[in-house]
Chains A and B, each alone.
Chain A
Amino acid sequence: MDQLSVSDINMILDTADSLMEISSRDIKKVPTLRGKSIVNFFYEPSTRTKASFEMAAKRLSADTLSLSATDSSMVKGETLIDTARNLQAMNPDIIILRHSSSGAPHLLARYVDAGIINAGDGMHEHPTQALLDLFTIRKKKGRIKGLKVVIIGDIAHSRVARSDIIGLRKMGAEVTVSGPPTMIPVDAESLGVKVVLDPAKAIKGKDVIMVLRIQLERQGRILFPSLREYSIFFGLNQELIRRAKKDVIIMHPGPINRGVEITGDLADGPFSVILDQVSNGVAIRMALLYLLIGGG
C-alpha cells in the first residue's frame, strides 16, 4: 500500500467496480487473461486469500499454479531466492506471494522479472486486504474521505492493520487504533493515527469499525492473559456498538473468533459487512490481475 498513489488506488477500485458485474453473471468467466500464467506462492498457510486469488484468476481465464509451504523443496530448506530463480525459469506473468517474513516480496522482486503481488508479508503489509476494505467502505458509504474509522485489536502484529492504516490515510479517512497497550506498536502516531486504548471510547462517533482477529496461540499469554478477559474489555458487543454512528459498518478480515473479538450476533447482524468483504475480495484481486497483465 505504501507504493500505491491515490490515483492508483482509485483506478483499482473503479476497475473492481466494473468487474463486479462478471461475478453476477451466469457464466462467471471472461477470456481476458487467456494464455497468461499466474503462480500462487504461499509460504504460509492461508485458505481464504489463496482461494480468493485463485477464483479471481480463473474468472479471468488465466492459468494458475499453486505452491504451498508443504510442498517439498520449501520444507527442505531451499532459500527464497533459489525458489524464486526456479519460478523465474517457468516464466510466469505474475507471482502472488504470501510469506511469514516482513519484506519477503521486496527480496523476491530483486530476483524475478514477473510482477509480484504481495498477498501478505509477515507483520508488514497485506495490501489486497486493504484494497478490498477500501472498496467495501466506498461501496457502502459512497466515499472514504472524511470518514472516521477505528481499528481494534493487535495493531502491532497485524499486517492488515498496517495496510489498512496506510490506505485509509491516503484516501483521507481519519483512523483511530484501539486495544490493549501491549498490542499497540511503539510510536503508533508516526503511522498517522490516533491512539485511544479503550474501545468504549474509541468507538464513539465512528463510521467504520474494523475488528482484528485475536489468536491466543500467536500472541501467547504475554500480550494478554486470556480470551475471556480480552472479550470483556476489548471485544465488540451490542452495548459498545451503540456508541458508534447509527449507520456504522463492522468489518473483519476473517476468520472470526466468535465471542472473542466480536460477538456472534454482531458478526451476523445488520451492521456487519463481513461477507461483502469476501466477495469484494475476488473483484479487487481480479482488478489487480487485469491492470497488471491484462492491458494487452
Chain B
Amino acid sequence: MITWIKGGEVIDTHSKTKKTLDIVIKKGKIERLLPPGNYNPPKDIDVKTIDASGMIVTPGLIDMHVHMREPGEEYKETIATGSQSAAAGGFTAVACMPNTNPINDSRSVTEFILERARKANLIRVYPVAAISMGSRSESLTEFGDLKQAGAVAVSDDGRPVTSSELMRRAIEYARFFGLPVISHCEDIDLSNRGVMHEGTISTKLGLQGIPAASEEIMVVREILLAKLTGYPVHIAHVSTEGSVKFIKQAKEEGISVTSETAPHYFSLDHRAVIDFDTNAKMYPPLREPRDVKAIRRGLSQGVIDVIATDHAPHSPIEKDVEFDKAAFGIIGLETALPLTLALVREGVMDLPEAIAKLSYNPASILSIKGGIIEEGKEADLTIIDLNKEYVVEKESFRSKSHNSPFVGVEMKGKAVLTMVGGGIVWESDEFNPRS
C-alpha cells in the first residue's frame, strides 16, 4: 500500500524553509518528495490519499521531556494513555524521565517501559535512565547496560544531582557511551521547601518562594562541568532570565551546552498563582514577566534549542489540596503545539524554526531518528491546521490527568493528523481529507 499526502506545505527543519510538496509513503518510509502534479500513482497498488492542502506538514514532533508515570503511578498516566496524549498533541516520539516507582535505574525498568510502549503501539517512547541509583546522588547507574537496554540519555530529573563530584563523573562516564546528560537544575537548599517563584506574588500570598538563583546556581555549575569535562550537558526546563544569560555566554565561549524550555515558561508568569491555583504549581515555578521575555528572546536567538513539555500528570489527590501540599507539575503534551504556534504568530520565531525546536533539535541532541522529512526516512509526520480555533476543555484531554493551567484558554492551531512509521496514530474528528 501507498500513502499519498497531497498538497501540504512541508517544513524542512534543516534548511528552515517550507515548500508545497507531495509526500509518497511506502512500507513506513518516505519514498518520494515531489512538487504537486508530478506524481502518477501506480495502478496495481492500493493508494490512500490524504489531502493536506491548506495544511502544514512537519516532521513528527518529538518531546524530549515527559513523565509517563508508569511504572508505579498508573492512576496518573500510563505509557498507553501518555502515548495517546502525545499523538493527539502531534508528537510521534517522547523521551520519558526516570522518576517512576521504581526509578528507572536498571535494565529491567528500561525494558519494561519499552515493552509497554510496544504494547501501546502508538508512538516511539525513548526511556531516559537515572544518573544515580535511586536518583539519590550517591552512586552511578550502569550507563552501558542501560544504553544497551534502550535508554537514550541519563538524568535524575525530578531531583538535581546534589553532588558536584558525582555529576562530574557522570558526565565523564556518559561520554564513553555517547549518552546525553540532562540536568534538572535546582539547589534544593536554596529552594528551601518553596512552592512558587520568590517575588511580589509570593510575598503577597505568604507562600514560601523559590528564588531564581536556585535554578541559576545549578545552571552555572553544569556549564562549568561541561567545560571541565569537555562533554555536553543539556539543561532541562530553563525558566529564568539569568539562566538564559549564562547559557548564552557559555555558548559564545564554545562550551557545549544545550537547553530546553517548556511552553508554560513562555506563556505564563507567576501571576497565574494569584488564586492559589495548584495547576500553576510546577518546578521550576512560573517566573516574572521579564523572565518570560528573556525565554522568548532565548528561543529567538537560538540560546534555547528545544521546546519540551515536562508533561507531568497528577490526579486530583495531588492537586485538589492546599497549595503548599500540592504536587509540582502540569500536563503539556496536548497544548505545547498551539502555545508554540502563538509565538510564531507573535514573530518570536518563524514556523520552520519553531518546528525544529519541536523535532529536529531534540532528535539531534538525543541522537534518535526523526526530526526531518527526507526521502528514505521513517514516515513520522504531523499535519497541522494553523487556523483551527478552539477552547481547551478538560474533557477533551487524552491524558489520564487534567492538571493544566490552560483549561478554558482559547488556542489557535492544532495537530489534525499524526503518523508514526506510515501509520496514522491520531486523526482529529473534523479533519476529513480523504478524496
A104 at the interface (CB under 8 A from B): yes
Which B residues lie within 8 Å of A107 (CB)?
276, 320-323
Q: Give the distance in Å from the alpha carbon of A106 to the alpha carbon of B205 in the complex.
A: 12
> In the complex, which residues 87-126 of chain A have their Cβ closer than 8 Å to any Cβ of chain B?
99, 101-104, 106-107, 121-125
Q: Are A79 and B321 interface neighbours, CB within 8 A?
A: yes
Q: Give the distance in Å from the alpha carbon of A104 to the alpha carbon of B209 in the complex.
A: 17
Which residue from A79, A80, A102, A190 sits with its C-beta under 8 Å from B206? A102
> In the complex, which residues 268-295 of chain B have their Cβ closer than 8 Å to any Cβ of chain A?
275-276
Q: Are B323 and A103 interface neighbours, CB within 8 A?
A: yes
Which residue from A81, A102, A125, A187 sits with its C-beta under 8 Å from B199? A187
- The range of chain A's interface size is 20 to 34
Which B residues lie within 8 Å of A103 (CB)?
205, 207, 276, 322-324
A27 at the interface (CB under 8 A from B): no
Which A residues lie within 8 Å of B324 (CB)?
101-103, 122
Q: Give the distance in Å from the alpha carbon of A104 to the alpha carbon of B211 in the complex.
A: 23
> In the complex, which residues 177-229 of chain A have their Cβ closer than 8 Å to any Cβ of chain B?
185-188, 190-191
A252 at the interface (CB under 8 A from B): no
Which B residues lie within 8 Å of A81 (CB)?
320-321
Smallest beta-carbon distance A268→chain B, Å: 31
A159 at the interface (CB under 8 A from B): yes
Evaluate whether A159 and B204 lie within 8 angstroms (CB atoms) in the complex, with A80-B321, A103-B276 already known: no
Smallest beta-carbon distance B210→chain A, Å: 11
- The range of chain B's interface size is 20 to 34
Q: Are B200 and A187 interface neighbours, CB within 8 A?
A: yes
Which residue from A125, A159, A186 sits with its C-beta under 8 Å from B202? A186
Shortest Cβ distance from B325 into A: residue: A101
B432 at the interface (CB under 8 A from A): no
B387 at the interface (CB under 8 A from A): no
Evaluate whether A101 and B199 lie within 8 angstroms (CB atoms) in the complex, with A186-B209, A191-B204 already known: no
A162 at the interface (CB under 8 A from B): yes
Q: Give the distance in Å from the alpha carbon of A186 to the alpha carbon of B276 in the complex.
A: 19
Which B residues lie within 8 Å of A191 (CB)?
203-204
Q: List 16 A-B contacts (CB under 8 A).
A: A79-B320, A79-B321, A101-B322, A102-B205, A102-B207, A102-B276, A103-B276, A106-B275, A107-B276, A121-B206, A124-B207, A162-B204, A185-B202, A186-B202, A186-B203, A186-B209
Give residues in B with beta carbon < 8 Å to A.
198-200, 202-209, 211, 275-276, 317, 320-325
